[in-house]
Amino acid sequence: MEINLYLRTLRRGWWIILMTILIATNVSLITSYFTPPAYQTNSRFIVAPNAGSFTSSWDVVSSLDTLDRRSIINTYRELLASPSVYNQNLEIQKIDPAVLAKYDISVTVVPDTNILQLTVEGLDPELVVEIADAIGTQAVEYINKLYPVYIFTILDQPAIPVSPIRPQPIQNAGLALFFGAIIGLVLAFSKEQLQTSIEKLRERSIIDVPSSAYTRAYFERRLLEEVAQRPESDLSLGLINFRGLADVADILPQQIKDRIINTITQKLKNELRGRDIVGRWNDMQLAVLLPSTPISAVEATFKRLQSYLAETISVDAAGDMIVKPDPCIGVVGRAQLETGEELIDRCINAMEKASAFDEAAVVVLSKPFIFAKNENPVNSNQSG
C-alpha cells in the first residue's frame, strides 16, 4: 500500500522533482561561472631537536620527550600563523594590506607528527606562492632564534597551483543535482500531503458521511449551477421520501439508521449513470439530479428505481429484523425559463403528492400536466 502511495506521488509530482533539479543545477552552474577562481598552495615544516645545542645523548632524548607534548607543536603552529611574525618580512610588507586580507592563511598539524602544514588560498596563483614563501622564510628565521633547542626547517616548498580549488562546476553540478532531487522529493510529497488534506476537507464539506451522498447545500448549488450554465439543456430532478424509515426513525439507534441510509444510497448510485448526482435532502429523503435528461426519459427509470429501492433491508446481521423503505418519488423536468428554485418547489410538491398515496408511488410533474404512477396500475392517478 505504501509503495503504491509513493509511486502515485512520484507519478503526480515528477515535474516538481525535475524542476527543482534543473533549477538547482542551473543555479550551481551560473554561480560557478561568476565565482572568481581560488587557488591554494601548501608548504610543510618540521620541528626537530637541534643536535648542535646538546652536550650529551641524554639531552637529545629529553628534548625528544618534551617535543612529544602537544603544547610544543601547537606553539609552533601559532607562531607560524601569527601576523605579527610574518608581517616583519620585507616581501610581505610590499603586498597591499587590503589585498593580503583577502587571502586565507591557515596552519594545521599533521596528525601524530611534528610536521606543520601552511596553507595559503587566494585569487592569484603566483601570489599565493609568494605569500607562502615569505611566511615560511620569516617564520623559520624568527622561531629558530626564539627556540634554539629545536630546529625549525622547511620540509616541502610551496608550488604554483595548476588549477583552482574552486569553483568546480562539474562537482558542484553533481551535488546540486543530488540535493535538488531530494528537495524535489520533499516538495512532491508535501504537495501530495497538502492536496490530500485539502481533498479530505473538501469531501468533508460536500459529502454527507453517514449516507455517502452529497450534502443538501452542495446538491442545491450543483443544481443551480446546472440551470444557470445550461439554460437550454434538459434537466430532471427527483426527490425520494422513504416513508418506511420515517415510521421506525424514533425506535432505531442512529448507527443503524445511518447504515440503512448508506445501503440505500449505494444501491441508488449503482443504478444511475456516472454523471448523475445523489444528495441527501434530509434524514429520510434523497435527491437525484439527472443532467441532460428530458422528463420523457426518466419516468421508466424512476419506476424501476422505486421497485428496486422498495426491497427490504436487514437491520441486524442475522436478518431477524427488517425495514421496508417504502420509497415515494416525486420527479420533475425543467420547463423553459424555469429557475432552479421553481424547479425545486415543483419537485417537493411532486414528492408530497407521491407520499400522499397509500402505496409507494412515482409522481412525475411536467408542466402543465401531473402524472401519478406506482407499481400497481389500479392505483394510478392522472390529473391535468
Return the percentage of the chain with pLDDT > 70, whole number.
86
Q: CB within 8 A of 288, min separation 6: which ones?
A: 237, 238, 239, 240, 268, 272, 276, 277, 278, 279
Question: H helices within 250-369, ranges in order?
Answer: 254-271, 299-309, 340-355
Question: How confident is the model over 86-133, as pLDDT tens digits?
Answer: 888 888 888 888 998 999 999 999 988 889 999 999 999 999 999 999
Whole-angstrom Cα distance, residue 24 to residue 19?
A: 8
| Cell of residue 86, nine digits | 610574518
Contact 27, 180 (CB under 8 A): no
- Please give the single-letter amino acid code of residue 23: I
Is there a cis peptide before residue 83, judged by omega within 30 degrees of 0? no
Whole-angstrom Cα distance, residue 284 to residue 249?
A: 9
- pLDDT at res. 128: 94
Whole-angstrom Cα distance, residue 227 to residue 244?
A: 32
Whole-angstrom Cα distance, residue 48 to residue 114?
A: 8
Whole-angstrom Cα distance, residue 295 to residue 350?
A: 13
| Cell of residue 82, nine digits | 601569527
Question: How confident is the model over 239-255, as pLDDT tens digits?
Answer: 999 988 888 878 888 88
Question: How confident is the model over 247-287, as pLDDT tens digits?
Answer: 887 888 888 888 888 999 998 888 888 788 999 998 889 99
pTM of the shown model: 0.49
Query: Looking at per-residue confidence, does 194 or 342 come out higher?
Result: 342
